[in-house]
């Protein structure tokens, strides 16, 4: 009887194998001799089988296929309601600018608008310009190309600094914003001048690349100290979105191969 | 498949596509855990989404000491426990309805006898009810042990409690559920001890 009481007290621990081996063996031996406890054990096993055996209905392929879209939509919705936080990193089709980024984004947009208006509606100076912007100097197509590639190379280090900056935790002072601003302003001038020298049709890609660079340099040149990490995040996004570092690398590879590919054709003898 | 840590790093760098990969790698596990915890598809979908949203917001707090999926499990369990108790009452009321029987439980008997099928259906209803009547902690422990097949030590880690607490909670849950089963059988059954 004492063993029956012990069994009743310990049967769940026995079932889950949570007893010391000696105690478990003693109880199992008791089950061999006590039909009452044996029935109770059998019933416990049966109950556990019933309780734990189950199937989960598959919600279907359509559910799984649409799972991400629904989740992303909810994240965007909650992000908007919460004033926009980390979900702004998600790109789910609809561009969402978090509230804290609105002012810097608006400033950049105005600047870009200014440039577009300036280029399209202000009287253009048709005289060729040198790379520093002064009139009256024309580069050869090859020089314009080489200088453009060199400028792209110079900009890479700066862009990498922004691309690798952790806007959430990074210390903006490590970027040395005043220096970057100054360098950007200089490079911007050169990029703009060089772009006008690239007139050959095969320089179209290089010209577009310079235009992308100009856009980012413009953002950096207008970076204010008080803008903080938010503005850096915008610049970092521009670098990412335009894949400019990748494009510059591609251009460098192309240029490195250029002398071999486009060298003077050799006279072939058949 | 890219390594989990690489994906997490990429998400933290702002690459949204990487988070999508993380979700797609874990969505089934988390949905089914949520289904076990909540007992119905609608709440399971809602809970699983909430888990991923919380994971995304707190990804920088993931230290990589456990696997990413274990971390998600932990979020799921805690989120479920912390949910509004009013919802619990609603689930209780809903689960007692015969209409919801059989949605989440495998047929207990392959018998084609309609009477026996009705018995099985009734039994399933009682099991669902029994699950719903467990406290959130009891249900979590039971689900993690029996449906997710976690060892007790890992359940303790997920729920941030001691192994002893897990054991006592599990045994209490089983006793309650067996009591419900016994009341379903009705005849000649003593209350399980």
Per-residue pLDDT tens digits of chain A, which is 270 residues long: 788 999 999 999 999 988 999 999 999 899 989 999 999 999 999 888 888 877 678 899 999 999 999 999 999 888 877 765 555 555 444 444 455 566 677 777 788 887 777 776 665 544 444 444 444 456 777 788 888 888 888 888 888 887 887 776 777 777 777 888 888 888 888 888 888 777 777 788 888 888 888 878 887 877 776 667 777 877 887 788 778 888 888 887 777 776 544 444 334 333
Residue B41 lies in a domain: yes
Residue B121 lies in a domain: no
Range of the domain at B5: 1-83
**Among residues A239, A225, A256, which one has the least CA distance to residue A158?**
A239
Q: What are phi and psi of B127, to 5 degrees?
A: -70, -45
Of A47, A55, A78, Cβ closest to residue B178 = A47
Residue B113 lies in a domain: no
Residue B127 lies in a domain: no
| DSSP conformational letter for A100 | G
Could you tell me how many helices (H) and strands (E) chain A has, helices first? 11, 0
Any A CB within 8 A of B25 CB? no
Partners of B36 on chain A (C-beta within 8 Å) are: 56
Of A55, A63, A75, Cβ closest to residue B106 = A55
Q: What share of chain A is helix, strand, coil (3-state, %, to 5)?
A: 75, 0, 25
- How close is the nearest chain B Cα to the Cα of A221, in Å? 24
Of B41, B52, B146, Cβ closest to residue A52 = B146
Q: What is the spatial distance between Cα A237 and Cα A229, in angstroms, rounded to a whole number?
A: 12
**Among residues B9, B43, B60, which one has the least CA distance to residue B136?**
B43
Cα-to-chain-centroid distance, residue A214 = 21
Residue B26 lies in a domain: yes
Cα-to-chain-centroid distance, residue A174 = 21
Helices (H), A171-227: 177-197, 204-221
Tokens of A2: 């004492």
Q: Assign residue B49 the CATH number of its domain.
A: 1.10.1740.10
B171/A91 CB distance under 8 A: no
Q: How many CB atoms lie within 10 A of CB A20?
A: 9
Any B CB within 8 A of A236 CB? yes
For chain B, how many structural domains are there in total?
1
Tokens of A207: 């010209």
Residue B4 lies in a domain: yes
Residue A71 contacts residue A42 (beta carbons within 8 Å): no
CA dihedral A203, A209, A211, A216 (to 10 degrees): -160
Residue B71 lies in a domain: yes
Tokens of A65: 């296929």
B14/A12 CB distance under 8 A: no
């Amino acid at each position: 009887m004492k063993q029956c009481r012990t069994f009743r007290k310990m049967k769940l621990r026995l079932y889950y194998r949570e007893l010391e081996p000696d105690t478990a063996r003693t109880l199992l031996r008791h089950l061999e001799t006590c039909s009452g406890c044996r029935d109770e054990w059998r019933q416990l096993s049966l109950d556990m089988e019933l309780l734990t055996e189950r199937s989960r209905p598959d919600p279907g392929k359509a559910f799984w296929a649409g799972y991400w879209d629904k989740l992303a939509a909810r994240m965007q919705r909650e992000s908007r309601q919460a004033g926009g936080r980390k979900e702004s990193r998600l790109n789910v089709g609809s561009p969402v600018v978090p509230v804290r980024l609105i002012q810097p984004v608006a400033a950049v947009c105005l600047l870009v608008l200014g440039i577009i208006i300036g280029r399209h509606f202000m009287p253009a100076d048709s005289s060729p310009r040198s790379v520093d912007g002064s009139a009256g100097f024309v580069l050869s197509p090859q020089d314009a190309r080489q200088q453009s590639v060199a400028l792209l190379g110079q900009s890479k280090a700066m862009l990498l600094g922004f691309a690798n900056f952790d806007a959430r935790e990074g210390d903006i002072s490590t970027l040395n914003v005043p220096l970057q601003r100054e360098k950007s302003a200089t490079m911007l001038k050169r990029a703009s001048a060089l772009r006008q020298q690239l007139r050959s049709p095969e320089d179209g890609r290089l010209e577009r690349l310079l235009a992308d660079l100009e856009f980012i340099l413009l953002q950096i040149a207008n970076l204010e100290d008080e803008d903080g990490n938010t503005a850096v995040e915008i610049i970092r996004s521009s670098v990412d979105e335009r894949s400019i570092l990748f494009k510059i690398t591609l251009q460098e590879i192309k240029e490195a191969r250029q002398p071999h590919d486009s060298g003077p054709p050799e006279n072939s003898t058949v | 498949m890219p390594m989990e840590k690489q994906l997490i790093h990429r998400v933290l760098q702002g690459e949204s596509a990487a988070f999508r990969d993380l979700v797609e790698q874990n969505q089934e596990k988390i949905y089914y855990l949520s289904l076990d915890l909540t007992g119905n598809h609608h709440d399971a979908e809602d809970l699983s989404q909430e888990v991923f949203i919380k994971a995304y917001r707190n990804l920088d707090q993931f230290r990589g000491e456990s696997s990413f999926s274990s971390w998600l499990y932990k979020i799921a369990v805690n989120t479920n426990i912390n949910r509004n108790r009013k919802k619990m009452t609603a689930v209780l009321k809903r689960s007692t309805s015969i209409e919801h029987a059989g949605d989440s439980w495998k047929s207990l008997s392959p018998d084609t006898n309609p009477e026996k099928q009705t018995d099985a259906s009734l039994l399933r209803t009682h099991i669902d009810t029994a699950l719903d009547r467990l406290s959130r902690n009891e249900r979590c422990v039971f689900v993690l042990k029996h449906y997710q097949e976690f060892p007790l030590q890992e359940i303790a880690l997920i729920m941030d409690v001691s192994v002893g607490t897990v054991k006592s909670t599990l045994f209490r849950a089983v006793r309650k559920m067996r009591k419900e089963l016994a009341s379903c059988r009705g005849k000649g059954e003593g209350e399980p001890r």
